[in-house]
Amino acid sequence: MTTLTVNGTLRESAAPPSTPLLEVLRNEFALTGSRFGCGEEQCGACLVLIDGTPAQSCGREIGTLQGRAVTTIEGLQNHPIIAALIAEQAGQCGYCLSGMAVAAAALLARNPNPTRAEIATALDPQLCRCGAHPRILRAVERAARELNR
Amino acid sequence: MTDLPKSLADNPRLDRWLRFAEGRVHVSVGKVEIGQGISTALAQIAAEELDISLDRLAWRAGDTQLAPDEGSTSSSLSIEIGGASLRLVCAETRALFLAEVARLLNAAAEELEVEDGTILHAGTPTGHDYWSLAPRVSLARDATGTTAPKPRARHRLVGTNTPRRDLPGKLTGGAFVHDMVLPGMLHARVLRQPRPGATLAAVNEAALARHGARLVRSGDFAAILAPTEAALRAAVEAARPRWDNADTPTPAMSEAAWLATQPADIRTRGSEAAPPPGRSHAATYSRPYIAHASLGPSCAVAHEQSGILEVWTHVQGVYPFRINAAQTLQRAPETIVVRHAHGPGCYGHNGADDAALDAAIIATLVPSTPVRVLWSRADEFAFAPAGTAMQTALRAVLDAEGMPADLTATITSGVHVNRAPGRLLASRTLPNAQPLPPPAESSDPYPGTGARNIVPYYDIPTWRYEHRLVTGTPIRTSALRGLGAVVNVFALECFLDELADLVGQDPAAYRLRLLSDPRARFLVERAAAMSNWSARGPAGTGIGLGMGFARYKNKSGYACVVVEVEADTEIRLRHIWCTADAGLAINPDGVRAQLEGGIIQAASMALKEQLRIDETGTATRSWADYPILRFSEIPPIDIELANTPDEPSLGMGECTMGPTAAAIANAAAHALGVRVRDMPLTRQRILRAASA
């Protein structure tokens, strides 16, 4: 049994310790906003925050997360990045979007005034196939403005 | 009776599209959301014609039980045909309701209007609305298509940047087929036949039991079922299937050049006269196999119960898939219900249909148990069909003024349309697999597949082409965004630059001398102005400006793309400008999103993408093997739309692909002073061209 905090709530997972965090979130806790993209930590679709640091949840075993605090897209619904992504219409198929939002939230937490280049660098590990990149970049800028108001 | 658009001609009954209940308007359509924003644009059209607010709409798209059969969501036709159909349905339905109120009030229909579903007479409520009248107005009748839609001057929703109705849900959970959970659902994965014809000799079944998993098998179709994803993954690893009789492809097959050496079915079109004598120029262009590479692997859920097989899937066409599944499973189509659910996009025929068939077959092998199939990333790269390699060779004869008087094209291509029954991945492994009929691949230019857009939109007096269809591709191929138009436009637009260069003319001016369509001319002129083309410097400075233009399918969306690059041994994008003509843009911001996405996907293809083949089949198995364009590589993209709202709407999803790839190659050639004619434009190819 692993006890951890998910989006501010204490949760217990009965999954075997080697189970990826992503599968625990999706299948045990019914938090399906984090998405399976590759299972190889190469695309960012499953990005979450672990104690505030971005991490690809497909590659983190639940057994290593005893006592840790995980934040998923479901825990970021009041973060300005969500409204900003919608305001910029920054998604097409939308499969990458929750990972994008988590990556952006992590960036804005450590750098409230990122330049366009800094945003691009921070989002570079996150893949998007539909070509929503320009809008996602604008959304992060918009969220930064909102946070700094 | 007017000629109805295809979707309406195929589904004329009004009640197949619309139903009024409990203050809502239930709209059913066959065109599905694949990220292009179609569900929002169609909603705008429906709400516009019915005079209701968007909030009144309840939407159902892609459902063999509940929605009309509009075939596949493809070829940038969902607004042109699907939208045109829905517009007529809604206009006619509104008129039927008004006629009924006119009859009840003994008033003229022209004195009536609709405000969010409520019917007014001379501005005063009549006490009637769509819902109160619904029992009296039967929609169990065929559309006539004779009710004129609203004139543009009265549009309040069409032409506005209505926000995507599906986006908020995609920023939480539950939006995708991947998120579906049915009670008692098992997770399943097919042990993939490594090569066509390989036979399954053995599976370590004893190991499966240790993971709580089990095997189901039918011929060479073998799948593992487990209660959890983790158990399934462990079981698949432990299964160690042994396959016999797999053929062994070679790495050389990765290249378009190999395809050109293969036996082909040759079809010719155009002028039968031999090219005239004169100064000529010839060049050959190519693209390798391209992965659809949707961000998530393909997924489907299926449930066989009480004689009905229900499948939830992100295929582009639920009805075509149902026919395919019915034939493959040898059962009546009426016993299969296919429902569309959101999936990860790529604007092409990816593994969605294959995963849906996997799930359907497995569900029939374990009746009463819901089954979820999610492919692995490696399987998605290795076994989803690919955009085919292509080679397009061009030869032009120039007239006395240096303009092309005659064009000869030779296109070598695998198939682009590959969803017919028997052609999905699992089909060939079933015991009852039938020999495949030849692919039904068109060689016509319109709408065309491999020959799409090979007939130039320019004033070139005579042309002819040979479409060499190679069915023996080393990997399965399918429709990837733009089909053959991507490579043909890439070739034609690079070739025009070469011709201009040969006769010492500016490439933009050269295009304008060949273009008589004023809409096309406008886009080229505007793109040149936006990009400060007149200040374009000499070749070989390391900075280059290149242009590409096409009208998709020569009858759909227009796009002109100018790209500025910086190039030495590799190419960096500095700026992209795009002008496009969509006719009446239902949702201008949606149009821009489609243009941006096409530009970025094409840029990624032109600069980076190639599936690799080795002795095992597709060697590309992960994102590490298949880089795509990332945020820091994407330049500013400026887009301008032509203001042509009185022209019919034109699909925008694919029109930028060829122009973008060509503009990049032309810009690179301008920067470097040497030309690379084969995608992707890699460092290795640049070095080779420079040393030639």
Quote the CA–CA distance of B642 and B655 in Å, as a whole number: 14
Q: Which residues of A touch B355 (CB under 8 A)?
A: none
Which residue does chain A place closest to B32, by CA atoms?
A93
Nearest CB neighbour to B296, from listed A45, A91, A132? A45
Q: Tell me the pLDDT tens digit for each residue of B251-289.
A: 999 999 999 999 999 999 999 999 999 999 999 999 999
* Confidence at residue B1, expressed as pLDDT on a 0 to 100 scale: 47
Which residue does chain B place closest to A58, by CA atoms?
B230
Q: How far is A127 from chain B (nearest CA, A)?
A: 7
Is B345 close to A85, i.e. CB distance below 8 A?
A: no
**The pair of three-digit structure tokens given for residue B386, joined into one six-digit string:** 């690919």
Quote the CA–CA distance of B541 and A142 in Å, as a whole number: 37
Residue with tokens 């097959």: B253
Residue of B162, B171, B186 to mutate, testing the A interface (most A Cβ within 10 Å of its Cβ): B171
Is A93 close to B345, i.e. CB distance below 8 A?
A: yes
Helix (H) or strand (E) holding B466: strand B462-469
Q: Give the residue extent of every domain in chain B.
A: 6-163, 177-245+293-383, 387-691
pLDDT averaged over every residue in chain B: 97
**What CATH number does the domain located at B387-691 have?**
3.30.365.10
Residue of A77, A130, A133, A138 to mutate, testing the B interface (most B Cβ within 10 Å of its Cβ): A130
Quote the CA–CA distance of A79 and A73 in Å, as a whole number: 10
Asked casually if ipTM beats, i.e. exceeds, 0.95, the reply is yes
A12: helix, coil or strand? strand
Cβ proximity of B548 and B659 under 8 Å: yes
Superfamily of domain A78-147 in CATH is [2Fe-2S]-binding domain (1.10.150.120)
Q: Which residues of B touch A30 (CB under 8 A)?
A: 173, 181
Quote the CA–CA distance of A11 and A6 in Å, as a whole number: 6
pLDDT over 50 at B628, yes or no: yes
Which residue does chain B place closest to A61, by CA atoms?
B230
Do the domains at B177-245+293-383 and B387-691 have one common CATH topology? Answer: yes
Quote the CA–CA distance of B79 and B655 in Å, as a whole number: 14
Average the pLDDT over B184-204 and give the result. Answer: 97
Positive or negative, the CA dihedral B339, B344, B346, B351 is negative
Count CA atoms closer than 13 A to B422's CA, side-chain side.
Answer: 10
Q: Is B653 exposed, middle or buried (0-12, 13-18, 19+ CB in 10 A)?
A: buried
* Confidence at residue B415, expressed as pLDDT on a 0 to 100 scale: 97
CATH fold, domain A2-75, is: Ubiquitin-like (UB roll) (3.10.20)
pLDDT over 50 at A87, yes or no: yes
Nearest CB neighbour to B597, from listed A37, A92, A123? A92
Q: Give the residue extent of every domain in chain A.
A: 2-75, 78-147
Q: Is B185 exposed, middle or buried (0-12, 13-18, 19+ CB in 10 A)?
A: middle
Q: Which residues contact B242 (CB under 8 A, 6 or more apart)?
A: B200, B201, B202, B203
Nearest CB neighbour to A37, from listed B173, B296, B631? B296
Q: Which residues of A touch B294 (CB under 8 A)?
A: 93, 95, 129
pLDDT category, B2, cuts 50, 70, 90? Answer: low
Q: Please, what CATH class does the domain formed by B177-245+293-383 belong to?
A: alpha beta
pLDDT over 60 at B511, yes or no: yes
Average the pLDDT over B107-136 and give the result. Answer: 97
The rounded percent of chain B whose pLDDT value lies above 90 is 97
Average the pLDDT over A66-79 and give the result. Answer: 98
Q: How many CB pairs under 8 A join A and B?
A: 170
* Confidence at residue B438, expressed as pLDDT on a 0 to 100 scale: 83
Which residue does chain A place closest to B173, by CA atoms?
A33
CB atoms within 10 A of CB B150: 17
**The pair of three-digit structure tokens given for residue B468, joined into one six-digit string:** 């060499």
pLDDT category, B436, cuts 50, 70, 90? Answer: confident
Q: What are phi and psi of B323, to 5 degrees?
A: -60, -45
Q: Tell me the pLDDT tens digit for each residue of B462-502.
A: 999 999 999 999 999 999 999 999 999 999 999 999 999 99
Q: Tell me the pLDDT tens digit for each residue of B518-534.
A: 999 999 999 999 999 99
Q: Which residues of A touch B628 (CB under 8 A)?
A: 127, 129
Nearest CB neighbour to A73, from listed B37, B171, B628? B171
CATH code 3.30.365.10 for B6-163: yes
